[in-house]
Amino acid sequence: MTDAKICGLTLPEDARLAAEEGARYLGVILVPGSPRSLTPERAAAVLDGMAPVRVGVFVDAEPEAIRSAVRTVALGVVQLHGDEKPEAAKALRDELGIQVWKAIRVRTSADVLEAVERYAGAVDGLLLDGWSAAARGGTGTTFPWKEVAGVRDRIPDELTLVVAGGLRPERVSRAVGLLRPQVVDVSSGVEAAPGRKDPDLVRRFVAAARSIR
């Protein structure tokens, strides 16, 4: 079964709905100044009482800021969206004892292969996102799924593959069929407005992901 991650959560009712519908991961953006950004204290309140794994998104954050957020929010995954080097990611993983995912903005399959070479052994997962000049993520931009599918078998089994970028409920089946990810990740694709989820889209997205085996 492919797991679903609902990211960019800003409201407790949206987090509750995602959890109730069966999302395995709930994501919060901990990047000051970015759309959908929360402070660690607010993120903890939004996710209060939620059972799914909590994922915190960071961009080139100082290690102490990440450590503090992990404690405050009770994160189970640190998702790095900046220019973090493999050795820094590995140091965080070893110190914190939780999963670290590295996000890669993909333009061609060569970007994926380069990321595998650099980060295998240093992180637990690679998140493939669409490339955009506008932002590090959350833009709803896809990457060339069919081209990347051609190198899927060169991603080691020990790396969790997370597919993001431009996903919507009606596109999940195609993404999973081509790329065989363990996790599909969505933010803007299930929103009624920035930071506010559409309940029907969340239900349909999680159901679509969970129906694929």
What would the pLDDT profile of 77-106 be if each residue is shown by its tens digit?
Answer: 999 999 999 999 999 999 999 999 999 999
How far, in Å, CA of 55 to CA of 73, rounded? 9
Dihedral angle at the C-alpha atoms of 129, 6, 94, 130, nearest 10 degrees? 0
pLDDT bucket at 34, cuts 50 / 70 / 90:
confident
Catalytic residue of the set 3, 111, 124, 129: 129
Catalytic residue of the set 7, 185, 198, 200: 7
- Separation in Å, CA 72 to CA 56, 59, 103, 123: 11, 18, 23, 22
pTM metric for this prediction: 0.94
Active site residue 7: yes
Active site residue 124: no
How far, in Å, CA of 208 to CA of 187, rounded? 15
**What are the structural domains, with CATH classification, of the chain?**
3-210 (3.20.20.70)
How far, in Å, CA of 192 to CA of 201, rounded? 9
